[in-house]
Amino acid sequence: MFFKFTLSFLLLCRFAASQQEDVGFTYNGFRGVNMSLDGLAQITDNGLLKLVSTTLAQVGHAFYPLPVSLMNTSTGNVLSFSSTFVFAMFSELTIVGGPGIVFVIAPFREFPGGLPSGYFGLFNATNMGNSSNHIIGVELDTLQNEEFNDINGNHVGIDINDLKSVEAIPASYFSDKENRRIDLNLFSGQPLQLWVEYNGIEKQLNVTLAPINVPKPTIPLLSLKIDLSRFMVDPMFVGFSSSTSALDVSHYVLGWSLKVNGQAKELSLSQIPKLPRIGSKTKSRIFQIGFPVIGASLVLLLIFIIQFTVRRRKKYAEVLEDWELEYGPHRFKYKDLYKATKGFSEKELLGIGGFGEVYKGIIPTSKAEVAVKRVSHDSRQGEREFIAEIVSIGKLQHRNIVKLLGYCRRKGELFLVYDFMPNESLDKFLFNQSTTKKTLGWNHRFQIIKSVASGLLYLHEEWEQVVVHRDVKSSNVLLDNELNGRLGDFGLARLYDHGGDPKSTHVVGTFGYLAPELARSGKPNPSVDVFAFGVLLLEVACGRRPIEGQGSEECVVLMDWVVSCWSGGNILETVDPKLGMNYNVEEMELVLKLGVLCSHSLASARPCMRQVVRYLKGEIPLPQLPSLTSEGSCDLSTWCPYLGSATSLSSSTITDSLLSAPR
Ligand SMILES: *[C@@H]1O[C@H](CO)[C@@H](O)[C@H](O)[C@H]1NC(C)=O
Ligand SMILES: *[C@@H]1O[C@H](CO)[C@@H](O)[C@H](O)[C@H]1NC(C)=O
């Protein structure tokens, strides 16, 4: 081994003698050294070669100023050479560096087309990989660049004309002492030493890395059999190229030696300059650091704000189309409704109806108390007319009508905003005694009846269009502070026409209040409201639901019972026992008989709302109804589909439709 070395050394000396002086230098620090510098490269006062130190994407080149002949001109073979240097890369602010330093052997020492960042100041997209580059490099790469097939963000690679390394390996060294490979961090700020050695006879390129306090390991990090003569020209320049991306990093070379045709002299580690202490520059660089820090904080803040806004946008997203803009005043912001109902909290839930849940809310801007009805509703054709109708209903102004304040649309959901009625609905007063405690006295009941009648009259005859409510029932009569009745839940019946299940029947309303002709034609006209109003009258007078014991054998139809008592001459037997004797007999009889009259199975036999109001006011007397007991009641008995004993002609049609009707 020794012999072989000596022999080859002698051979090398022979070659050397035949050529001009082989280049060799040793710089234990760069103070006073003539280097060819460009870009950000500079020599610091204490003799460090500072390649780059910046927060911007920049490059720095530092080359031995003279061309170096690395070739035996007679044979064309590349000579043996050896070089070693100590370097350090670090950042005071980031733990990711980028990208690093390349030890370069190139036909020139300026790289006008060399881009910063991943291109290491050497290449660009056009010349990358071009064999006419004649560039050989050893990269110390601290940034993984997928584009160049980088193995990781901390590796050493041999590059030829390209940044896609011929061979690369994670930064490490072989510890002779411990007889194992030890990982190294290129970007730790600790000075590391690299050896690049080429044997021109063996045609082998070795790259070895080690911490500075460790002697050169016997086993190199990379050992590549390669004939560099294929890639080199004569002469070449030797030096360093470095670049930064947008991160604040510092790249230094502390000392460097090179020898052509021989072993590079060991660096005298005691002589090489000290690195600036990390953190020592903090004060003087307060602005340099301060701004990036502030900038980074701002960026983070911005990202946070954007995320927050996006999430908020999503949370409060609504469906708003151009044609809705004219409904501006009737359009509520989902955000406001969300806040008003405390996020549709269960605590604010007033009730759940056939169409959806109703929440109590306080609109944050106006502090107005509202009831928000949330209806699941898919946008379909006819949406536009439906909303137009909702809005037009919103224009209804009557003291016996719960005002529809507006609406809001979201994907799959519709929100209707109504005036809030503190006393809830009439059915709770009539049937749920436990929750309301107070029995509704007759005066109140009669007042409520009259107010609902006047509301219906307004809808049917007094507004610019005829509005059919289609769902008159005690649970849709809401009571205000003074126990005035107000008809609520407008517009929802139309939902079935616009967004309902098209397969289901178009009968709209609530079982027990449905006029029989609805089952046949499905076309609502005001008389269906009159029918339901008749049922409502009986409910209020009798304190019973329209159909009790539904589904059981003893299904009692309130209408039948009242009619049969009436024909038996004791109609007052049906009066709500909770009232005791505390009622006006005339008014009671009027209400019961009017109820039966309004709910006549023949639509043509029902009075209109104007007449109803006049009967209730006592302006005109109720007509005598001799025929009713004999004929009318017979048809009415077909009401309950569960009786099974229904005999009337129309019963089967009604039954079928009602069973499949939506609730
Ligand atoms: C390689 O570079 C040379 C010199 O710049 C140029 O003439 C040639 O077209 C390039 N080849 C390719 C494949 O880009
Ligand atoms: C390269 O390393 C190998 C051991 O892996 C060694 O045999 C060879 O002599 C080395 N060559 C140079 C030029 O240092």
Choose which residue among 206, 218, 224 to substitute to test ligand 2 binding: the one with the highest number of ligand atoms within 8 A of its C-beta: 206
CATH number of the domain where residue 389 is located: 3.30.200.20
Nearest CA residue ID for atom 7, ligand 1: 132
Same domain, 135 and 174: yes
DSSP class of residue 187? T
Q: How far is the CA of 115 from the centre of ligand 1 (A)?
A: 17
Q: Residue range 594-622: average pLDDT?
A: 91
Catalytic choice (336, 471, 529, 576): 471
Structural element, H or E, at residue 301: helix 286-315
Same domain, 481 and 533: yes
Q: How far is the CA of 5 from the centre of ligand 2 (A)?
A: 11
Same domain, 536 and 466: yes
Q: Which range (10-24, 59-73, 198-212, 346-360) has the least confidence?
A: 10-24
Same domain, 389 and 511: no
Same domain, 405 and 477: no
Same domain, 481 and 520: yes
Decide: 387 and 407 in contact? Cβ < 8 Å: yes
Decide: 105 and 238 in contact? Cβ < 8 Å: yes
State the pLDDT at residue 592: 94
38 is catalytic: no
Answer yes or no: is 236 within a domain. Answer: yes
Answer yes or no: is 426 within a domain. Answer: no
Confidence of residue 82 (pLDDT cuts 50, 70, 90): very high
Decide: 120 and 242 in contact? Cβ < 8 Å: yes
Domain boundary among 225, 260, 285: 285
How would you label 145-167 residue by residue, b for 16+ Cβ within 10 Å and e otherwise?
beebebeebbbbbbbbbbbbbeb
C-beta atoms surrounding 316 within 10 Å: 15
Domain boundary among 225, 252, 285: 285
pLDDT beyond 60 at 639: no
Decide: 476 and 320 in contact? Cβ < 8 Å: no
More confident residue, 19 or 178: 178
Per-residue model confidence as pLDDT tens digits over 144-169: 888 888 999 899 999 999 999 999 99
Please state, rounded to an integer, the average pLDDT across all residues of the chain: 80
Torsions phi, psi of 59, nearest 5?
-125, 160
Q: Residue range 540-564: average pLDDT?
A: 80
Q: Which range (89-98, 247-256, 579-588) has the least confidence?
A: 89-98
Confidence of residue 542 (pLDDT cuts 50, 70, 90): very high
Q: CA 416 to CA 408: how far, in whole Å?
A: 7
State the pLDDT at residue 170: 95
Per-residue model confidence as pLDDT tens digits over 28-38: 999 999 999 99
Decide: 400 and 324 in contact? Cβ < 8 Å: no
Q: Residue range 381-403: average pLDDT?
A: 75
Torsions phi, psi of 589, nearest 5?
-60, -40
pLDDT beyond 50 at 629: no
Pocket of ligand 2 contains residue 206 by CB under 6 Å: yes
Q: Could you tell me if residue 402 is left (phi over 0), alpha (psi between -120 and 50 degrees) or otherwise beta?
A: beta
Confidence of residue 11 (pLDDT cuts 50, 70, 90): very low
| % of residues, the chain, pLDDT over 70 | 77
Confidence of residue 134 (pLDDT cuts 50, 70, 90): very high
Helix spans in 234-285 (H): none
Choose which residue among 127, 231, 233 to substitute to test ligand 1 binding: the one with the highest number of ligand atoms within 8 A of its C-beta: 127
Q: Which range (115-129, 354-368, 441-455) has the least confidence?
A: 354-368
The structural domain count of the chain equals 3
Same domain, 265 and 348: no
| % of residues, the chain, pLDDT over 90 | 38
Confidence of residue 623 (pLDDT cuts 50, 70, 90): confident
Decide: 537 and 594 in contact? Cβ < 8 Å: yes
Domain boundary among 386, 420, 454: 420
Answer yes or no: is 643 within a domain. Answer: no
Pairing of strands 237-244, 77-78: unpaired
Same domain, 408 and 511: no
Q: Which range (84-88, 169-173, 424-428) has the least confidence?
A: 424-428
Helix 585-598 / helix 526-542 crossing angle, nearest 10 deg = 140
State the pLDDT at residue 221: 96
Q: CA 325 to CA 19: how far, in whole Å?
A: 90
C-beta atoms surrounding 93 within 10 Å: 13
Decide: 49 and 253 in contact? Cβ < 8 Å: yes
Choose which residue among 122, 126, 131, 132 to substitute to test ligand 1 binding: the one with the highest number of ligand atoms within 8 A of its C-beta: 132
State the pLDDT at residue 616: 94
Q: CA 320 to CA 428: how far, in whole Å?
A: 37
Answer yes or no: is 293 within a domain. Answer: no
State the pLDDT at residue 321: 65
State the pLDDT at residue 503: 34
Pocket of ligand 2 contains residue 220 by CB under 6 Å: yes
State the pLDDT at residue 630: 42
What burial class does residue 540 get, using C-beta atoms within 10 Å of its C-beta: 0-12 exposed, 13-18 middle, 19+ buried?
buried
Nearest CA residue ID for atom 10, ligand 2: 206
pLDDT beyond 70 at 254: yes
Q: Residue range 542-558: average pLDDT?
A: 75
Cα–Cα nearest to 46, from 26, 64, 30, 25 = 30
How far from the centroid of its chain's Cα atoms is residue 638's Cα? 55
Pairing of strands 155-160, 136-141: antiparallel
pLDDT beyond 70 at 645: no
Q: Which residues contact 572 (CB under 8 A, 6 or more apart)?
A: 585, 588, 589, 592
pLDDT beyond 90 at 663: no
Q: How far is the CA of 126 from the centre of ligand 1 (A)?
A: 8
Q: Could you tell me if residue 446 is left (phi over 0), alpha (psi between -120 and 50 degrees) or otherwise beta?
A: alpha
Encoded amino acid at 589, one letter:
E
pLDDT beyond 90 at 550: no
**Two tokens at 110?**
């300026």
Decide: 140 and 129 in contact? Cβ < 8 Å: no
Which residue range forms the structural domain that includes residue 406? 301-420
Handedness of CA 526, 532, 392, 426 (dihedral sign): positive
State the pLDDT at residue 658: 31
* Ligand closest to CA 131: 1
Decide: 247 and 96 in contact? Cβ < 8 Å: yes
Handedness of CA 415, 416, 420, 421 (dihedral sign): negative
Answer yes or no: is 184 within a domain. Answer: yes
Q: CA 407 to CA 415: how far, in whole Å?
A: 5
Question: To which residue do tokens 């009232």 refer?
Answer: 579
Same domain, 463 and 401: no
CATH number of the domain where residue 569 is located: 1.10.510.10
Per-residue model confidence as pLDDT tens digits over 33-71: 999 999 889 999 999 999 887 767 788 999 999 999 999
CATH number of the domain where residue 142 is located: 2.60.120.200
Confidence of residue 628 (pLDDT cuts 50, 70, 90): very low
DSSP string, 41-103: -EE-TTS-EEEEEESSS-EEEEE-SS-B--EETTTTEEPPEEEEEEEEEE-SS-S---EEEEE
The radius of gyration of the chain from alpha carbons, rounded to an integer in Å, stands at 47
Question: To which residue do tokens 């050989």 refer?
Answer: 136
Decide: 46 and 32 in contact? Cβ < 8 Å: no
C-beta atoms surrounding 417 within 10 Å: 25
Confidence of residue 382 (pLDDT cuts 50, 70, 90): low
Answer yes or no: is 427 within a domain. Answer: no
Pocket of ligand 2 contains residue 204 by CB under 6 Å: yes
Same domain, 411 and 480: no
Answer yes or no: is 241 within a domain. Answer: yes
Nearest CA residue ID for atom 6, ligand 1: 132
State the pLDDT at residue 535: 94
How far from the centroid of its chain's Cα atoms is residue 659's Cα? 43
Q: How far is the CA of 564 from the centre of ligand 1 (A)?
A: 108
State the pLDDT at residue 632: 42
User: In three state form, how does the secondary structure of 370-397 look?
Assistant: EEEEEEECCCCCCHHHHHHHHHHHHCCC
DSSP class of residue 425? B
Confidence of residue 425 (pLDDT cuts 50, 70, 90): confident
Decide: 557 and 539 in contact? Cβ < 8 Å: no
Same domain, 91 and 180: yes
- pTM of the prediction? 0.47
Helix spans in 234-282 (H): none
Answer yes or no: is 133 within a domain. Answer: yes
DSSP class of residue 152? -
pLDDT beyond 80 at 536: yes
Q: Which range (155-164, 339-348, 422-431, 571-580) has the least confidence?
A: 422-431
State the pLDDT at residue 62: 96
Question: To which residue do tokens 């529809």 refer?
Answer: 404
Same domain, 123 and 91: yes
Per-residue model confidence as pLDDT tens digits over 312-326: 766 777 766 666 666
State the pLDDT at residue 505: 39
